Amino acid sequence: MKTLGKKIRLLRHQKGWSQEDVAKRLDISIPAFSKIETGITDINLSRLEQIANLFEMTVVQLLTFTDAEHDQKVANELETINRKLMDRETEVIDLQKKVIELFEELRHTKITA
């Protein structure tokens, strides 16, 4: 439920509402709403419907809602990590080539000696 609470907090911030604003609209106390956002309190279906309606969403939309900005940030981080990994792979290949060259040079030196 913690991720649902995070989604609700994000939606609240997007609307520019305080916890007090949302608590009043849901007719619950501020601490009760805070517990919903932090995932301390599990949300029953009727409360979930009430919250979804407040944000003009269906329950399914609320449950499947993702932060596109967060998703883009994760995608960018993955891309950066992938680039670094490719760079390291190139370095490993270069080092392997050097080891082979040195081995061949050492072998050639032993044969001529």
Q: Residue 95: is its pLDDT beyond 80?
A: yes
Q: Which domain holds residue 42?
A: 2-64
Same domain, 48 and 92: no
State residue 16's pLDDT score. 93
Q: Residue 1: is its pLDDT beyond 60?
A: no
CB neighbour list of residue 28: distance below 8 Å, 6 or more residues apart? none
Domain count of the fold of the chain: 2
Same domain, 58 and 93: no
In degrees and rounded to multiples of 5, residue 17 shows phi and psi of -95, 150
74 pLDDT band (50/70/90 cuts)? confident
Instruction: Find out whether 48 and 62 touch, Cβ atoms under 8 Å.
Output: yes
Only one residue has tokens 């760079």, namely 87
Q: Which of the listed residues 23, 48, 64 is the one where a domain comes to its end?
A: 64
Same domain, 110 and 80: yes
State residue 111's pLDDT score. 80
What's the rounded mean pLDDT across residues 1-9?
Answer: 83
Same domain, 58 and 98: no
The predicted model scores a pTM of 0.58
Tell me how many degrees the CA angle 75-76-80 measures, rounded to the nearest 5.
120
